[in-house]
Amino acid sequence: MLRYSSKIIKYIYQLAAVKISWLMTYFKFSINGVKFNSDFVAHGVPIVNVNLKGQFSIGKKFTTHSGKHFNMIGRQQPCYFIVGNGGRLTIGNNVGISCTAIVCWSAITIEDNVRIGGGVVIYDTDFHSLDIHERLAEPEVTANIATRPVTVKRNAFIGAHSVILKGVTIGYNSVIGAGSVVTRSVPDNQIWAGNPARLIRNL
């Protein structure tokens, strides 16, 4: 009887957590000026920070998993959606992501039906200058920090804990193996993995 009661309590708790997550995510999207549809699913609450001169739009049927209770595969964290001054982050329809950090200073586009595994990071910037003098200056010189757009094309799947770096395009239907560091573009219909990522086979 006690075991049955605990299952009921857990079920009610999970329902409440999902509803609260949705409401808090709705609020965060709204105050950051995100263009989104109300049919999204939020398990856990993401971190959202959109610069006043940045743009962030999300298509229909978006699903996000944030934190240890909703994606139990290790290295749990909230999803991060960070859009800098002049950045443009675009997420298409039917996209699902888990505990993913996306930092957009230029342009990041995630097309329809993309799946992104837990702990993935996507950056379109180097964050710091590669010039030692600019990097160590007080204050740091930021004018020459490199940025290049990132695109994840339709139906692609990025495995857990992968890193997608600036200037990369992931092709249609392509798969990135878990733990990969992707430094160059991946053609359509291929599996890539490794550090740096390389072709494993065609699909």
Catalytic residues: 128
Question: For residue 28, which phi and psi values (nearest 5 degrees)?
Answer: -65, -45
What's the Cα-to-Cα distance from 40 to each of 25, 36, 145, rounded to whole Å? 10, 8, 34
Peptide bond before 78: cis, by omega within 30 degrees of 0?
Answer: no
